[in-house]
């Protein structure tokens, strides 16, 4: 999706992501059946910048992040570092981020010590 930056500006001008935008995002981002790192980074940036995050956006965002991280069934050191940066970007670990960590731990076939440390730190 080469036009991601322009699409972000279009969505942000509205201040929120509604159903039509979500349908377009789902179709475009999952066109090849997966969320790659560039697309995941784009979603994280969108998540930071959206003024009004509705439940549909939150559900889409966290599912896409989970799909990205679990593409190969395991969470390695690099993915754990990326996830740590995403979670601690605002200095807080909110309830939805904790839920994401629980889901990742439960669904991953394998996690490395870096993910386990992040999990323990965020859920203590």
51-63 residue pLDDT tens: 888 899 999 999 9
75 close to 108: Cβ distance less than 8 angstroms: yes
Tens-digit pLDDT string for the chain (124 aa) = 557 777 778 878 877 788 888 998 999 899 999 999 999 999 999 999 888 888 999 999 999 999 999 999 999 999 999 999 999 998 899 999 999 999 999 999 999 999 999 999 999 8
Give the separation between CA 54 and CA 33, rounded to whole angstroms.
24
Domain hosting residue 19, numbered range: 1-69
Q: Please check whether residues 61 and 11 belong to one and the same domain.
A: yes
Q: Please check whether residues 37 and 98 belong to one and the same domain.
A: no
Predicted confidence at residue 2, as pLDDT, reads 53
Q: Please check whether residues 50 and 93 belong to one and the same domain.
A: no
50 close to 15: Cβ distance less than 8 angstroms: yes
Q: Please check whether residues 2 and 52 belong to one and the same domain.
A: yes
Q: Please check whether residues 39 and 60 belong to one and the same domain.
A: yes
Q: Please check whether residues 2 and 62 belong to one and the same domain.
A: yes
Predicted confidence at residue 124, as pLDDT, reads 83
């Amino acid at each position: 999706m080469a036009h991601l930056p322009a699409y972000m500006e279009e969505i942000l001008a509205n201040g929120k992501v509604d159903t039509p935008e979500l349908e377009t995002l789902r179709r475009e981002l999952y066109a090849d059946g997966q969320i790659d790192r560039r697309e995941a980074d784009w979603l994280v940036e969108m998540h930071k910048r959206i003024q009004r995050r509705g439940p549909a956006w939150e559900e889409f965002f966290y599912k896409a992040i989970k799909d990205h991280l679990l593409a190969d069934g395991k969470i390695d050191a690099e993915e754990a570092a990326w996830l740590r940066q995403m979670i601690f970007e605002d200095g807080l670990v909110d309830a939805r981020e904790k839920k994401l960590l629980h889901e990742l731990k439960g669904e991953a076939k394998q996690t490395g010590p870096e993910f386990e440390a992040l999990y323990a730190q965020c859920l203590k």
